[in-house]
Structure 1
Amino acid sequence: MSIPKTQKQWVITSKDKDFDGLVYQDGPVPTPGDHEVLVHLRGASLNYRDLIIPKGEYPFPINLPVVAGSDGAGDIVAVGSKVTKWKKGDKVLTLFNQGHQRGDLDIKASKTGLGGCFDGTLRQYGAFAETGVAKMPSNLNYVESASLVCAGLTSWNALYGLKPLKKGQWVVTQGTGGVSLFALQFAKAAGAIVISTTSSAEKAEMLKKLGADHVLNYREDVNWGETARQLTPGGEGVHHIIEVGGADTFTQSLSAIKMDGVISVVGFLGGRAPKDNILEALSRVCTVRGVYVGSLEQLEAMVAEIEKHDIHPVLDKKEFPLEKAREAYEYMWAKKHIGKIPIIIE
């Protein structure tokens, strides 16, 4: 196929509460450098971070203007002269922090996030370092693969990055967003026992179908953290909690965690200001850990596990073409979605 000179892309030009700083425009198709690959992006998905960047609420560095989006998957259509890892035709997905290859995240790597510091994936073509992409899972399509980039890898890092999850351990997931659903699927694949929280009977049924062993309705049980603790043997508490609610849920997470357990803080959907003194982590003798996605090494390990267990991401029933990505932003902001929102790129 011939590679065009220009492409369609969504660029964050400014911060505005109504997404008015998110602009659909023409842009050049980049030429890959010596150590880069050019990817014809075919699928993307959205994360909560994608929404709060144009709204000016993102707590990490950004460089405006920037092409929006971090989640992408597609086909390599050109390679730089010194690329050895890939060839034309390879199917790949993007690495969120392009500089985070392995081990601990550092300041330098934290400033290489797609769709914030580096141009992202809501476009037709993107040039990425050959170390900034990973092999697509053989059992997934483009949009399913794209959904792994941020939410999937974040949940994988939460479960395996500090104290690796073991068979028979207990895990709490919160809600039906992308990170939480991936955590549920990964935990069940590992033989863990999962307690999931939700707000409706309909969502509870979906969580049970995905394998949740217990589902707690947080609207009906405001002290669900203690309920979760009492479900565990001897009332000792759970080993891992995927904390996405922030101010609204952190109290309950502290109630549910076992001694020496890990609360992985991956979001703040209920607000950023904590209602609890973080020093309570001392009385609970637990670890509270912030998780900022993960490394290429972790991404490759996650892909292998997804292939091994034939795990398929939960995608929302509504798909959006690239040109209607702003509508996808508004749809997600209104909390109408379940799982990951698919964006189709031609």
Structure 2
Amino acid sequence: MRAYRFDALNSLDDLVLHDEPTPQPQRGEVLVKIDAVSLNFRDLAVVLGRYVGPADAGLIPCSDAAGEIVAVGESVSGLKVGDRVISAFHPRWFGGRIPMTAARDAYGSGSDGWLAEYKVVSQEAVVRLPDGLSFEEGCTLPCAAVTAWTALSGAAPIRAGQSVLTLGTGGVSIFAVQLAKALGATVIGTTSGPAKAERLAALGADHVVNYNEVAEWGRHVRRQLTGGEGVDCVVEVGGPATVNQSIHAVRPGGEVVLIGFLSEENPGIDYFHLKNSRATVRSIGVGDRPALEDLVRAVNRTGIRPVIDQVFPFEDARAAFERLKSAAHVGKIVIKV
């Protein structure tokens, strides 16, 4: 089979296509013929030295995939040859506390990922792909959609009539817009220009703020768009350069959900600013298998269609990474295997 590996972690030039033996499933495992893979910022961060966790060179990248089961090992139950499936971001997190092995299990940074023609995994490491979605759409769900779902469904889940602030037009943010609207929330989005603002509005965002024009967008959201109250939830994907504005935007008792690390600037957090916000700050790492199952049910019930920016052929995988690096995308970038 063909498989891409980052032979080193210096630049995108290190993405190399290899010919390797096709793996065979053992007891409790399934062999998946991979049809589509989607990219997340972490896939780029690993090779650019910006990943927040440990990362090894020589691994197959990418955590998110969809494909068809073509062989099963002994004692596999509930799955069969021909089933369409998607990967679970955390292959061994089945509920409760996140396993201590999560970093070593992580696809593309601690273990081989999915940017290949075939992959063998435990039967618990995949779930069925919703019937109404294509492979290209399904492969966008495991990381970005589950992360958005987890952000909106914590200890104080978003309810109809509440408000959500999303940042930018990447995969997590776009799914957060779609899911929050499906829950009946008011959605405020930030972005960098009018074209992306139009896309956000078309997806249901009630207000869009251009952060290049409104530097103090957090205060603007609170004072001008929420009547001085602030939003109930901020889906914070920007990281250190945006979190202070997110704290300005959130209401007392609201929640800032820490997800991403897109920004490289790190001005630091003012403790008294955070303390006086009276908000909850929650850091999440995608979600467990039950969260993926819940998300799949929600997508099935609501009819949400993942937003795909562009689909690249397998042979042009590096171009897909370059597109991600440009930050010009809206939604998810997919590689067709």
What is the TM-score normalised by the length of structure 2? 0.96
What CA distance in whole angstroms lies between the structure 2 residues aligned with 1:328 and 1:134?
25
**For 1:94-243, what aligned pairs fall within 5 Å after superposition?**
94-231=87-224, 234-243=227-236
1:101–1:297 CA contact under 8 A, matched in 2: yes
The match for 2:52 is 59
Q: 1:15 aligned to 2:9? A: yes
Distance 1:278 1:165 in 2: 26
- Give the conservation status (yes or no) of the 8 Å contact 1:251–1:276: yes
Identity of aligned residues (%): 40
Separation in structure 2 between the aligned mates of residue 315 and residue 189 of structure 1, nearest angstrom: 19
Q: Deviations over 1:283-325 (max 9, x none)?
A: 1111222221111100000000001011011111x32111211
Which piece of structure 1 moves more, 245-254 or 180-189? 245-254
Maintained 8 Å contact 1:97/1:110: no
Q: Is the 8 A contact 2:323 2:329 kept in 1?
A: yes
Decide whether aligned partners of structure 1 residues 231 and 305 sit closer, same or farther in structure 2, where only a CA change above 3 A counts.
farther
Deviation at 1:158, TM superposition (A): 1.0
Q: Tell whether 2:21 aligns with 1:28.
A: yes
CA deviations over 1:110-162 (Å, ceiling 9, x no partner): 43111222211110101111110011112210011101111111111111134
Amino acid in structure 2 at the alignment position of 1:309: T
Question: Aligned to 1:242, what secondary structure does the other structure show?
Answer: strand
Output the CA distance in 2 between the equivalents of 1:163 and 1:153: 17
Q: Identify unmatched segments of 5+ residues in structure 2.
A: none
Q: Which of 337, 340, 344 is equivalent to 2:336?
A: 344
Aligned residues: 337
Higher deviation after alignment, 80-89 or 232-241: 232-241
Verify the 8 A CA contact 1:99 1:110 in the aligned structure 2. no
CA contact (8 A) 1:10 1:122 kept: yes
2:233, 2:257 within 8 Å by CA — same for their partners in 1?
A: yes
CA contact (8 A) 1:71 1:146 kept: yes
1:278: how far off?
A: 4.6
User: Is the contact made by 2:56 and 2:109 (CA closer than 8 Å) also made in structure 1?
Assistant: yes
Distance in 1 separating the partners of 2:285 and 2:131: 26
Q: TM-score, normalised by structure 1?
A: 0.94
> Offset at 1:274?
4.1
- 1:231 Cα offset (Å): 4.5
Q: Secondary structure at the match of 2:297?
A: helix
In structure 2, the residue matched to 1:327 is 319
Runs of 4+ residues deviating >3 angstroms? 231-234
Across the aligned residues of Structure 1 and Structure 2, the Cα RMSD in angstroms comes to: 1.5
**TM-superposition CA deviations, 1:13-33 (whole Å, max 9, x none):** 2110x2122211111211112
> Relative to structure 2, which stretch is displaced further, 100-109 or 238-247?
100-109
CA, structure 1 residues 29+162, in 2 after alignment: closer, same or farther (shift >3 Å)?
Answer: farther
Stretch deviating more after TM superposition (286-295 or 86-95): 286-295
- 3-state secondary structure, aligned to 2:34: strand
The Cα offsets for residues 69-88 of structure 1, whole Å up to 9 and x where unpaired, read as 11100101111101112111
Question: For residue 245 of structure 2, what is the aligned residue in structure 1?
Answer: 252
Distance 2:267 2:96 in 1: 29
Deviation larger for 202-211 or 54-63: 54-63
Shift in Å at residue 281 of structure 1? 2.1
Give the direction of change, closer, same or farther, for the CA distance of 1:227–1:103 in structure 2 (3 Å limit): same
CA distance in 1, matches of 2:116, 2:233: 36
